[in-house]
Structure 1
Amino acid sequence: MRKDVIKSLIAIKQSEIPFDVIERDVKLPINRKKIITVPGVRRCGKSTLMEITINNLVREGVPSKNILWLGFDDERLRMMSSEELDDVIVSYMEMFPDTPIKDVHIFFDEIQLIKDWEYFVLRVYKSYCKNIYICGSNATMLSTELSSALRGYPLEYETYPLSFNEYCRFKGITTDSYLEQDRARLKMTFEAYNQASAFPEIVLTSSKSEQLKLLHGYFDTMILKDLSEHYSISNTSVMRYFVKRIMANLTKPTSINAIYKDIKSQGLKVSKDDLYLWADYICDIFMFIRISKYDRSLIKEQKALDKYYCIDNGMRGAVLMPQSNDNGKNLENIVFMQLNRMRLPSDKITYYQGNCECDFVLQREDSVIQLIQVTWSMIDESTREREIKGLLEAASVTGCGNLVIVTKDEEDTFVREDKEINVIPAWKWLLQEEAVSF
C-alpha cells in the first residue's frame, strides 16, 4: 500500500512539470554529482527553487520521467521509518524499469520529517544516484546539522526571502529601463519593499489582513516548532518576549545581559545561560543573522556586543507594529540582507564602533574592501556630518578607501579629507549585479 502512495505522489509531481513558478536570482547547480542542500528560513521559497531547477533540467533535455520528486509532508508518509525509505527507490524503479537510476535527478522535500533520513540519503548517493537535492523547513535542516549528518558531502545553497530585484519581478516592475516613469515606479516600489515582507507567499497575497495573518503564522511556527519543539524549550512565553526584544533592538549592539536583567526584573524565571543559547538558536533557524564588531584583536571582537538583523522587515513589522520612524532601521536591515546574499564564503561583515560608528565593514580574507553607511536621508546637516565622520574614522582605522553611503534616494560623489565618498540611492544600489565593489 505504501508503495502505491509513493508511486502516486511521484506521478502527480511529474504531471505538473514544467512548474508554473517565478524565477529567482539564485540558481541551483545541475549535474554537479553532489548532494545539493537548500537551507533557509521557513517559507522563503526553498521548494520553489527546486522546482525552478527541474524546469531548467527539462529545458536541458532531461525527460520528466527522469525526475523523482517526493514530498514527505504528505500525511500518508509521516509514519515511515528510515528502513522503509528504500521503498522510494524500489517504487520508482518499478514505475520506470528501463530508466537507469544513475540518470535520475532526485528531489526530496521535507525529508527531515522521517527519523534518520540522512543515512538513507547517503546510501542512495553512494549506491544509486549522484544528483540529489534536499530541502526542508525546520531546524533539523540547519547548515551545521546537514554537514554533520551528511558527513561533508553536500553543497549548500542558503536561501532567503526575496531580494529587491526578485520583489520587482514578482510585482511585474521593470528594473532595466531608463525611462523616467519607470524609474519613478521603481522608487515607489522600493519604498513599499522597505516596509513590506519579502516572503514570496506574502508578496503574492494582495489582502493586507491576510498578509498579517500569514506573517503571524510564520512567526508562531518558528517560535513553537523551530525553537521550542526542536530545542526542547518549555518557557515559550519568555522565549517569545526575548525574540521581540531582539527585534526591537534591530541595527543596534544588543546586550543579552541587559535583556536578562529586564526579564528578571519582571519576575520571570530564565537563566542567563539559556538566553545566550537562545540567541544562538534564533540565528540557527535563520530568524536573525548576527554580526560582530570590527576589531583587529579577535579576543576584543568576541567580547564586544553583537548586532542582530532580522530575516524579514514585514514579519518584524507584523510582530512589533513599529512606528513610522523605523524607515532607517528597515533600510539598514535590507542593505545587510543584500550584503549577506552577495558575500563570498571568505567574506565577513562586521560593524565599526569607536568615537564614531560605521554600519558595515566588509572584509575579504585579511583585507577590508568596503565601508558602508546607511541612512534614510542626509538632508539634515548634523546627520550628514555624523555619517561622514563615521566613514572617515573607520577608513582611518581599517585603511580602506572604498566608501559608500546608501540613502533612500540621494545621489552624490564628493571628496572629504582626500577620500572619495559615493552616495547612492538604495533602489539603485540594490539592483547592482554586485553590491560590493572591488
Structure 2
Amino acid sequence: MKMILDHLIDDFHERPLPDLIPRDQFISRVPRKANVVIGMRRSGKTWFCYQQMKELLAQGIERERLLYLNFEDERLLPFAAADFQHILETYYRKFPGFKTRQCYLFLDEVQRIQGWDKFVRRVLDTEQLSVCITGSSSKLLSTEIATALRGRSLITEIFPFSFREFLGFNKVELKGTPRFGSKMRATLQHMMGIYSETGGFPEVQSLDDELRRQVLRNYLDVVILRDIVERHAISNVTALRTLIRHIMSAPATRFSVNKFYNTLKSQGTPCTKNNLYNYLDHLTDAFLVYQAPLHSRSVKARQV
C-alpha cells in the first residue's frame, strides 16, 4: 500500500488541475475543524475541491503542500483503517520538512472506508493538516457527520450551477450594475430559457437534448436505488417511485401526505402514512427535494 500511495502522491503533484467554472460557494477554514463538502451526486463536489486547491496555489502555497486522494480509485483497494497511517508516513517521508508546516489534505469519497472518522479526528488533533472531505449523499449526511466528527466539522453544500454560474459557463459576463440595456436583457431572457430546459448539472451542459435526458434519468435512478432504496432497505419501491413522479410533476406546489396516501389507497398501492413521511425525509437527505413546511403554530397543521 505504501508504494501505491507513493505513486498516487506523485501522480497528483504532476497532474495539472483541470480548468473549471468558479462556484459561488466558499469554504471558511477554522483550525482543528474539517471542511465537509456535501451535495447531490454529480453536482460538482470534487471540482469544488479543485477550486479550493487553485485558490491555495494562488495564495502562494506550494503544490507539494496539497495532497488529494480519491478512495474510489481501484488502486487503493482493498484499503483498511490501518492503511490511513500509511498516508501520513508516505507523505512525510517524501516531504519531511512539511511535518511542521501547514499542509492541506483532500479526501474524496473517504466515507467508503471503515474508521475514516477516527483518522480525521486524530489528524485534526495531532498534525498540521487542514482536512477537506467530499462524499456522496448515500453515506455522508450532515447529521451523520456531526455524530462521526463530534462537532469538528464545517459543512458546505454544493448545488448544481446557479443561473449566474450557468452564465459563466456559457461565457456571458455580467457587469457589476443590476441594470441592463435591451441587448443584455434579451440575452438573459434567452439564457434563462435554456437554463430552465437544461438545468444546472455541470456534466450535461454541452450535451444534446436526447443524451442530456438520458444522463439525467441515470442520475435519478442512481439516487433512487443507491441513496434511498439500498441505504434505507426500502421494499415498497412502487410507492416510492409513484411519490417521486408525483412530486416532480408538480414542483413548488402544495403537497399533502394525507391526500397522496388516499390516492395510493384508491390505486390499490399499499403504503402507510408513516412510510410516506419517511420517504419524504429520505428524498430530502438525498438532495432530491427540499421541503418548505406550511407556516402554522400547529404541528398537526404543518404535517398535512
Q: TM-score, normalised by structure 1?
A: 0.65
Counterpart residue type for residue 195 of structure 2: Y
Distance in 1 separating the partners of 2:257 and 2:103: 49
Instruction: Assess if the C-alpha contact under 8 Å between 1:9 and 1:70 holds in 2.
Output: yes
The within-5 A match list for 1:57-76 is: 57-76=56-75
CA separation of 1:102 and 1:243: change in aligned 2, threshold 3 A: farther
Instruction: Assess if the C-alpha contact under 8 Å between 1:17 and 1:64 holds in 2.
Output: no
CA separation of 1:131 and 1:149: change in aligned 2, threshold 3 A: same
Distance in 2 separating the partners of 1:249 and 1:294: 20
Distance in 1 separating the partners of 2:75 and 2:258: 46
Q: Match for residue 304 of structure 1?
A: 302
CA separation of 1:265 and 1:78: change in aligned 2, threshold 3 A: farther
Q: Match for residue 233 of structure 1?
A: 234
Q: Deviation at 1:21?
A: 1.4
Stretches of 4+ aligned residues off by more than 4 angstroms: 30-33
Instruction: Assess if the C-alpha contact under 8 Å between 1:162 and 1:199 holds in 2.
Output: yes
CA separation of 1:87 and 1:282: change in aligned 2, threshold 3 A: same
Distance in 1 separating the partners of 2:112 and 2:156: 20
Instruction: Assess if the C-alpha contact under 8 Å between 1:30 and 1:57 holds in 2.
Output: no
Distance in 1 separating the partners of 2:266 and 2:3: 58
**1:187 matched to 2:200:** no
Counterpart residue type for residue 186 of structure 2: A
The within-5 A match list for 1:274-289 is: 274-289=275-290
CA separation of 1:102 and 1:236: change in aligned 2, threshold 3 A: farther
Q: Deviation at 1:77?
A: 2.3
Instruction: Assess if the C-alpha contact under 8 Å between 1:294 and 1:301 holds in 2.
Output: no
Runs of 5+ unmatched residues, structure 2: none
Partner secondary structure for residue 232 of structure 2: coil
**1:48 matched to 2:47:** yes
Which protein is richer in strand relative to its size? 1
Q: Match for residue 200 of structure 1?
A: 202
Distance in 2 separating the partners of 1:245 and 1:170: 32
Counterpart residue type for residue 284 of structure 1: D
Partner secondary structure for residue 139 of structure 2: helix
Counterpart residue type for residue 142 of structure 1: L
Q: Deviation at 1:30?
A: 4.7
- Deviates most, 268-277 or 173-182: 173-182
Q: Deviation at 1:31?
A: 6.4
RMSD value, Cα: 1.9
Instruction: Assess if the C-alpha contact under 8 Å between 1:38 and 1:46 holds in 2.
Output: yes
Q: Deviation at 1:116?
A: 2.6
Distance in 2 separating the partners of 1:245 and 1:223: 15
Q: Match for residue 292 of structure 2?
A: 291
Partner secondary structure for residue 133 of structure 2: strand
Counterpart residue type for residue 207 of structure 2: S
- Which protein has greater RCO, CA pairs closer than 8 Å, 6+ apart? 2
Counterpart residue type for residue 191 of structure 1: G
Distance in 1 separating the partners of 2:271 and 2:13: 50
Q: Match for residue 11 of structure 1?
A: 10
Q: Match for residue 25 of structure 1?
A: 24
Q: Match for residue 217 of structure 1?
A: 218
Instruction: Assess if the C-alpha contact under 8 Å between 2:108 and 2:133 holds in 1.
Output: yes
Greater Cα radius of gyration, structure 1 or 2: 1
Q: Deviation at 1:54?
A: 0.4
CA separation of 1:294 and 1:301: change in aligned 2, threshold 3 A: farther
Instruction: Assess if the C-alpha contact under 8 Å between 1:175 and 1:186 holds in 2.
Output: no
Distance in 2 separating the partners of 1:28 and 1:78: 30
The within-5 A match list for 1:20-419 is: 20-30=19-29, 32-100=31-99, 102-176=101-175, 178-203=180-205, 205-295=206-296, 297=297, 300=298, 303-305=301-303
Instruction: Assess if the C-alpha contact under 8 Å between 2:294 and 2:301 holds in 1.
Output: no
Q: Deviation at 1:173?
A: 1.1
Q: Deviation at 1:210?
A: 1.7
Q: TM-score, normalised by structure 2?
A: 0.92
CA separation of 1:234 and 1:8: change in aligned 2, threshold 3 A: farther
Counterpart residue type for residue 131 of structure 2: I
Instruction: Assess if the C-alpha contact under 8 Å between 2:13 and 2:63 holds in 1.
Output: yes
Distance in 2 separating the partners of 1:101 and 1:6: 21
Instruction: Assess if the C-alpha contact under 8 Å between 1:168 and 1:174 holds in 2.
Output: yes
Instruction: Assess if the C-alpha contact under 8 Å between 2:33 and 2:153 holds in 1.
Output: yes
Distance in 1 separating the partners of 2:139 and 2:100: 27
Instruction: Assess if the C-alpha contact under 8 Å between 2:105 and 2:132 holds in 1.
Output: yes
CA separation of 1:29 and 1:14: change in aligned 2, threshold 3 A: farther
Runs of 5+ unmatched residues, structure 1: 307-438
Distance in 2 separating the partners of 1:180 and 1:271: 54
Note the alpha carbon deviations across 1:68-87, whole angstroms, 9 max, x for none.
10000112324312222222
Note the alpha carbon deviations across 1:215-250, whole angstroms, 9 max, x for none.
011000100100011111133233222211222232
Q: Deviation at 1:42?
A: 1.0
Q: Deviation at 1:263?
A: 2.2
Distance in 2 separating the partners of 1:157 and 1:302: 32
Distance in 1 separating the partners of 2:128 and 2:269: 52
Distance in 1 separating the partners of 2:63 and 2:137: 29
Q: Deviation at 1:183?
A: 2.6
Instruction: Assess if the C-alpha contact under 8 Å between 1:7 and 1:92 holds in 2.
Output: yes
Q: Deviation at 1:305?
A: 4.8
